[in-house]
Structure 1
Amino acid sequence: MQFQYKFEKILTIKEREKDEALNIYNQAVKKFEEAAEKLYGFLKKKEDLESYQSSKLVNGLSVQEIRHHQHFILNLEKTINHYQQIVVNARNHMNFYQEKLMEKNIEVKKYEKIKEKDLTNFAENLKQLEGKQMDDISIQQYMSRGS
């Protein structure tokens, strides 16, 4: 007698769904990291430019150069704001898919727990059946000796 789990197909489907959710989550994490790295790069560029401008201001800088730097910084700030929004959206997507992944994990764990309990019950029933068979054999042997 072999153990047959009655929800094996469902468990397989749930595991596949969990794997898909994990892949989607990993992609969301990757997109978040890429957006965050770009944002960091622009923030670093702005900081470097402001530092460069302040060091140049000490020695003197033409009005044209100041305007040029200010215009460039303004454009960088627009880009930074844009990437901050992208990072926020990417973080929200990542958190959403993390929740989905956790839900799928919980579903798989439920079916695995049911399988574990069914296997334990199967083993106990098999043990009882074997015990009954041994009792029947013992009774038959006793009866055949007694005759």
Structure 2
Amino acid sequence: MTTYNYRFEKVLTLREQERDETEIAYKEAIRQFEEVATELYNQIKKKEETLEQQQVRMATGFSIDDLHHYSRYIDRLEVQIDQTQKEVIKSRSKMSWYESQLLEKNIEVKKFEKMKEIGKQQYDAEMELVEANRIDELSTIKFRSKEDRW
């Protein structure tokens, strides 16, 4: 008896490889997003701490130069935060795109796997029918050979 050969096996293998590559890219996009988001969090935290220090220093009194220094430093932090927020949005968008691509690839692979499963079931049913016909033929031949002996 022959084994089942799925006619789209190479296509299925290719789609599985594409899915795996997309999954790797998606995981990398997640890693990049987490990295940039953590950087943004740290910058915001640094700004809040600097504002608190400034408030404490203002309560105890400090020079105009120090006030200008804090002001320039906070302005630079705000610029960095704005840039990092743009990077976060960009990396989130990239992550979402890879997520949708991965979902599409998974669906495509599942379709080919389902087609393979259905084809295998049909093949098995056909083989059972062929085997049943073969057994019927053999039993008929055996019966006729016994009948011819009488």
Q: Structures share a fold, TM > 0.5?
A: yes
Identity %: 35
Name structure 1 gaps, 5 residues minimum. none
Q: Which residue of 2 aligns with 1:118?
A: 119
RMSD over aligned Cα atoms:
0.9
Instruction: Note if 1:9 corresponds to 2:10.
Output: yes
Q: Which residue of 1 aligns with 2:89?
A: 88
Q: Which residue of 1 aligns with 2:141?
A: 140
- TM-score of the pair, normalised by structure 1: 0.96
Q: CA deviation at 1:138?
A: 1.1
Deviations 1:24-62 (A, max 9, x none): 111111111111111111111001111111122221222
SS of 2:25's equivalent in the other structure is helix
Deviating more after overlay: 80-89 vs 135-144 = 135-144
Q: Which residue of 1 aligns with 2:69?
A: 68
Q: Structure 2 CA distance, aligned partners of 1:121 and 1:55?
A: 79
- TM-score of the pair, normalised by structure 2: 0.95
SS of 1:19's equivalent in the other structure is helix
Runs of 4+ in 1 over 6 A off after TM superposition: none
The alignment of Structure 1 onto Structure 2 pairs a total of residues equal to: 147
Q: CA deviation at 1:64?
A: 1.5
Q: Structure 1 CA distance, aligned partners of 2:56 and 2:146?
A: 111
SS of 2:99's equivalent in the other structure is helix
